[in-house]
């Protein structure tokens, strides 16, 4: 699992509250990514980062923001959680040479 951890692993939150998920990697990888995975589907890219303070939007970025103040940490914030954001969130990192390493996922439930 290549030194990439996500926290928390599970979270239940109420509609309208802000939520921050954390991804931490110890591989000194330049690139980091946040995905969401909904039941029976593959991963969809939310945001990604190609370096400290360099981030960009992915396919499903609405309602999400990210920050990367250090190489090892990539934070995903749901500004005002909605039920449609109930999902499993995965973080990944890579060196840029072709192989991405994934965290174990965060199961988020918005009630």
Name the site residues for other proteins (rule: CB under 8 A). Answer: 1, 31-33, 35, 40-45, 48, 50, 58-59, 90, 92-94, 96, 98-105
Q: Least distance in Å: CB of 5 to other proteins?
A: 10
For residue 83, give the H/E element and its range.
none
Q: Least distance in Å: CB of 99 to other proteins?
A: 5
Q: Least distance in Å: CB of 80 to other proteins?
A: 27
Residue placing its CB nearer to other proteins in the complex, 48 or 81: 48
Residue placing its CB nearer to other proteins in the complex, 35 or 64: 35
Q: Least distance in Å: CB of 87 to other proteins?
A: 14
- Are 13 and 19 spatial neighbours (Cβ–Cβ below 8 Å)? yes
CA dist., res. 24 & res. 103, Å (int): 9
Residue placing its CB nearer to other proteins in the complex, 62 or 96: 96
- Are 47 and 34 spatial neighbours (Cβ–Cβ below 8 Å)? yes
State the Rg of the chain over Cα. 13
- Assign 85 to helix, strand or coil: helix
CA dist., res. 57 & res. 46, Å (int): 6
């Amino acid at each position: 699992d290549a030194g990439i951890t996500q926290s928390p692993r599970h979270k239940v939150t109420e509609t309208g509250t802000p939520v921050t998920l954390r991804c931490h990697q110890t591989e000194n990888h330049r690139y980091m990514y946040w995905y969401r995975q909904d039941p029976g589907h593959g991963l969809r890219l939310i945001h990604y980062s190609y370096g400290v303070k360099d981030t960009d939007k992915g396919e499903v970025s609405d309602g999400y923001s990210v920050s990367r103040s250090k190489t090892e940490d990539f934070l995903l914030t749901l500004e005002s959680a909605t039920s449609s954001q109930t999902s499993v969130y995965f973080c990944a990192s890579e060196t840029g040479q072709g192989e991405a390493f994934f965290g174990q996922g965060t199961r988020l439930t918005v009630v």
